Amino acid sequence: MQIDFLNEARRQAEICNACRYCEGYCSVFPALHAERAFSDGNLTQLANLCHNCRGCYYACQYTAPHEFDLNLPQALANVRQQSWEEFAYPKSAAKAFQKNGALIALMATVGFAFFFWLARQVATIGGEGFYSILSHNMMVAIFMPAFVFPLVSIAMSLRRYWRSVDGDPVKLAHLKKAFAAAAVMKNLKGGHGDGCNFEETDRFSQGRRHAHQAVMYGFLLCFAATSSATFMHYLFDMPAPYPLWSLPKLLGVVGGVMLSLGCLQMIRLKLKADKALSANNAFSGEIGFIGLLGFVAFSGLLLYLLGNTELMPVTLFLHLGAVLAFFTLTPFTKMVHGFYRLAALTRDAQRTK
């Protein structure tokens, strides 16, 4: 049976709006209480503003077995998941990944790794380190389109989202407020700063916020490592490989460790969490994305450790396969939630101007 997620979220939001017991909780409730009626765009905005900390659920007096049967975290999670699928380009790819994310991530990684192995058999090689396996020019030719595609796809998705929530023209002050909230994971601190109720029933913890911070900042450090290596290669004529104390290596190793540990913690929390408070049928997609991102980081660290051994080539193929799978699948995985959350925080900053 097809569930009307928007109407169910609307029913629950109207009850929450009348009750207002959770008024001091996260950014969702001030935004919810500012409305008298809820359009589809209002609900989409509230859903993407919600960080699923679940504190409101355990504070609510109208959860089952009450006849109102409120479960606002799940109701908003379902609308949020639906919005990512509806706004994605192409839409069918997002729906497929959410249902079979773990399998798709695994198959994409192995398939792309095999592709790199085939490329190695026919390519002209030359250089040191990794470039003795695959040339720099070949890597650029493969990864440049894979980097551009998700940016274009996500930009189109965010444009659809912004229209659906009736977003106004963005000002610098709105972006500053949104990025400030995202930088400290403000909405994962919980209503009273005690953290989420994500790990166990009615238990507050900062663990989920810390795991998200490790993933976010680890990813940014890895991106900075790649960016610095690009500048060194093209602007200063300093091609890889780089020594340990170089900027790309320092940023990459620290970022890789943070990203690996953060993803492991996220998987642990997902396995312990109450799935009845999450989106329907989203578990495979979430685990597939976190697992893929964690493997990208771990295989990168492993590649550095095995750089001068016979295991380096196969590790390189697997690492590059995972990286290519990650970029290709990004618009359809939960990675996109970071972009939507920033958009939702920016829209909320416009509301509170």
- Tell me the pLDDT tens digit for each residue of 280-303: 888 888 999 999 999 999 999 998
Integer CA distances (angstroms), 24 to 17, 70, 113, 216, 282, in order: 13, 18, 49, 27, 29
Q: pLDDT, tens digit, for every residue of 140-175?
A: 888 888 889 999 999 999 999 999 999 999 999 999
Domain spans of the chain, in order of start = 5-84, 88-351
Q: pLDDT, tens digit, for every residue of 315-353?
A: 999 999 999 999 999 999 888 999 999 999 999 999 886
Q: What is the distance, to the nearest Å, from the Cα of residue 203 to the centroid of all Cα atoms in its chain? A: 24
Q: How is residue 250 written in tokens? A: 């320092």
Say how far apart CA 317 and CA 320 lie, in whole Å. Answer: 5
* Torsions phi, psi for 119 (to 5 deg): -60, -35
Instruction: Write down the residue that tokens 């320092």 correspond to.
Output: 250
Q: How is residue 154 written in tokens? A: 């996500």
Q: pLDDT, tens digit, for every residue of 42-73?
A: 999 999 999 888 888 988 999 999 999 999 99
Mean pLDDT value across residues 29-49: 92
Instruction: Write down the residue that tokens 């697992």 correspond to.
Output: 291
Q: How is residue 234 written in tokens? A: 């093209």
User: Is residue 5 pLDDT above 90, yes or no?
Assistant: yes
In sign, the C-alpha dihedral spanning 141, 146, 152, 155 is negative
pLDDT at 191: 63
Strands (DSSP E) contained in 61-194 are none
Q: pLDDT, tens digit, for every residue of 107-150?
A: 999 999 999 888 887 765 656 667 777 777 788 888 888 889 99
pLDDT at 201: 63
Question: Comparing C-alpha atoms, which of 347, 53, 300 is closest to residue 193?
Answer: 53
pLDDT at 200: 62
Length of the chain: 353
In sign, the C-alpha dihedral spanning 101, 255, 147, 279 is positive
pLDDT at 127: 60
